[in-house]
Structures are given as C-alpha cells and as structure tokens.
C-alpha cells in the first residue's frame, strides 16, 4: 500500500475516536483488523483502496478462518472493513464498498458458563474482618447483585458507592451508555461496611470506590486474581472470573422472572439477540428438571439402558 492509502486509515480511526466516541478497546481491534488488510493488500501488490474488490475481502476472511480465527472475530473484522470503506465512499476515494455483502462463516455459539445458586452463595459469603476481605465481599456482592461488567465495577467512584446504599447505582457501560441498576439488600450492606473501612487503605484524594493496597483505584487484573483466590479458598472447582458472575446473574434472573426484555435492560445489551443466549441456558435447566421428573422421560431412559 502506498503512503496515501495508509494515511486514510489514520484519518478513519481519528474520526471514530473524536466524533464517534469509540472505546480504546474497539479502536485497537479496528486498527488490528485494518493492519491485516494492509498486509494482505501488500502481498497481492494492491496499491490503492479503490483496487480492493469483494473477492479480495472474501479471500482474506477465508484465509483467517482457516487459520482458526473464530466467527465472532471474523464478524468484527468484516464490520471494521465495512465501516472503513463506507468512510472512503463518503470521501470519494472508492466507488463501492467491497465488504458490504460479505458474510462471515457461521460457527456454533458457545453457551456461557454459570454458577448455580449454591455456589454463588458459597463464593460471596466469605468470612473475615480484614479490610481487603471487607472490600472483596462488597465487590462480589455488587457483581452478582447488579450483573456489572468488570470495567463498570472498577470505574465506580466513591460517590457512586454512597448513592448505591439507597438501592440504585448508575454505571457507564459500553459505548459510554449510562444506565441505572437496582442494588440488593446484601450488596448495600456490604458496600456500607466497606465505606466505613475504606479510609484504612485509600489515599486521601482518591475518588475510586474500590482501591488496592497502594490506595489507588483497584486494577481489573487485581479483581480477577481476588475472585480466583476466593473461589479456590471456598472450594469451588470452576474457573471463576468476573463475567461468570454476570452470566450467573442473567441466568438466575431469567430463570426466576422469564422477562427477557427486563434482563436485557439490566445487562445493558443493545441487541436482545445477545440476551437470548440465556434462554438456552434456561432451557437446559428445564430439560434436566423434565428428564428427572417426567414419568415418560424416566421410562424412555430405562428402555434405552436395557437396549
């Protein structure tokens, strides 16, 4: 690719950052995707963006699929290509969008893991009065009470914590979208206790709700390590991570209420199809209950064993 072609990528990413307010994570992913497109074009000796056609895009996607890139990543890659060429169309640098009608190969959707209610209770009800334990108890309770993402929880400020005691917490989710969430009684009690102990390790000027040993805002990696630590200590034989508690929250809420739209709002999903994956988890639970309880299901199982 020539230097002029490279500059258009920089211009595109700058527009996403300043005008579209894309997150650093998304910008990094788009940049990586477009770098792979440049590498492909260089191998094909393509100098200008107007010379890229749909066969080139299809060939690159197929190549990455054979290399083991998953369906979700391929879809994001195509999305970045479509957005980039749409931008070039507006700027009159190309005459069509070669990625517009290309579809990513379909892959089976993996159901998220969840903890059952007994294991969630065992994980959250940790014992101890040490300041870090008090903090971790509040973190665990809040994760499961409100279904927060890791980034949403770690970015909370002390004022958010104080307001949450009234039963509502406001978080900043994906795409800088703000939403209000209910906070359960147990989580409110845990946060209130943490606030009474927070000054023991927090720097005086630190605004973060949750802080680490250095008195500054706790890092995401520290929260992840603490969850693994408590899971092991509590005898939970699973890989426990923050999003597992979010999955468990969603699954248990849907199982109890059956209200998909409400769960979508609580999770902050822009598309309800993202939330619908939890209906499959719920169906798996119902299937197990059916197999264990229905007389004909039991009879069928016995006949199968005899055969």
Alpha helices in 147-239 (DSSP H): 150-154, 158-164, 185-197, 220-233
List own/partner pairs for 181-187 with CB under 8 A and 24 or more apart: 181/146, 181/147, 181/148, 181/266, 182/145, 182/146, 183/142, 183/145, 183/146, 184/141, 184/145, 184/146, 186/124, 186/141, 186/145, 187/138, 187/141, 187/142, 187/144, 187/145, 187/146
How many other C-beta atoms can be found within 10 angstroms of the C-beta atom of residue 219?
12
Dihedral of CA 182/184/187/188: which sign? Answer: positive
Among 174, 186, 197, 228, which one carries the catalytic annotation?
174
Give the pair of three-digit tokens for residue 128: 């101890």
Distance (Å, whole) CA 249 – CA 170: 18
Per the annotation, the verdict on 246 as an active-site residue is yes
Instruction: Report the candidate in 144, 220, 212 with the shortest Cα–Cα distance to residue 182.
Output: 144
The reply to whether 174 belongs to the active site is yes
Residue with the two structure tokens 């906070």: 183
> Which DSSP helix (H) or strand (E) runs through 171?
strand 168-172
Q: In the structure encoding, which two tokens stand for residue 246, read together?
A: 């979010």
- Which of these is catalytic: 50, 65, 86, 243? 243
Which one is catalytic: 149, 163, 197, 216?
149
Q: Are 123 and 140 in contact (CB under 8 A)?
A: yes
Residue 15 designated active-site: no
Query: 122, 186, 269, 285: which one is catalytic?
Result: 269
Alpha carbons 161 and 187: distance in angstroms, whole number = 11
The token pair that represents 286 in the structure block: 């119902």
Q: Which of 217, 226, 246, 247 is catalytic?
A: 246
Active site residue 278: yes
Q: Which residues are catalytic?
A: 149, 174, 243, 246, 269, 278
């Amino acid at each position: 690719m020539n230097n002029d072609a490279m500059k258009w990528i920089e211009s595109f990413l700058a527009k996403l950052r300043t005008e579209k307010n894309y997150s650093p994570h998304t910008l990094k992913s788009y940049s990586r995707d477009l770098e792979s497109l440049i590498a492909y074009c260089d191998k094909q000796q393509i100098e200008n963006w107007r010379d890229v056609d749909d066969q080139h895009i299809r060939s690159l996607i197929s190549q990455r699929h054979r290399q083991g890139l998953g369906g979700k990543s391929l879809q994001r890659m195509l999305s970045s290509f479509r957005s980039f060429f749409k931008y070039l169309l507006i700027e009159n640098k190309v005459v069509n969008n070669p990625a517009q009608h290309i579809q990513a190969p379909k892959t089976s959707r993996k159901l998220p893991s969840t903890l059952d209610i007994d294991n969630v209770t065992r994980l959250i009800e940790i014992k101890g009065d040490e300041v870090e334990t008090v903090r971790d108890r509040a973190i665990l309770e809040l994760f499961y009470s409100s279904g927060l993402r890791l980034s949403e929880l770690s970015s909370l400020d002390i004022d958010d914590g104080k307001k949450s005691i009234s039963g509502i917490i406001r978080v900043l989710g994906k795409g800088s979208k703000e939403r209000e969430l209910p906070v359960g009684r147990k989580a409110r009690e845990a946060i209130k206790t943490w606030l009474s102990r927070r000054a023991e390790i927090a720097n005086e000027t630190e605004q973060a709700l949750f802080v680490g040993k250095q008195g500054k805002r706790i890092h995401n990696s520290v929260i992840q390590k603490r969850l693994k630590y408590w899971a092991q200590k509590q005898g939970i034989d699973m890989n426990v991570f923050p999003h597992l508690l979010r999955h468990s929250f969603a699954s248990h809420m849907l199982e109890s209420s059956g209200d998909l739209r409400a769960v979508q709002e609580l999770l902050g999903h822009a598309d309800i199809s993202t939330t619908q994956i939890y209906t499959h988890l719920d169906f798996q639970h119902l299937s197990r209950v059916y197999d264990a309880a229905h007389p004909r299901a039991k009879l069928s199982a016995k006949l199968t064993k005899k055969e």
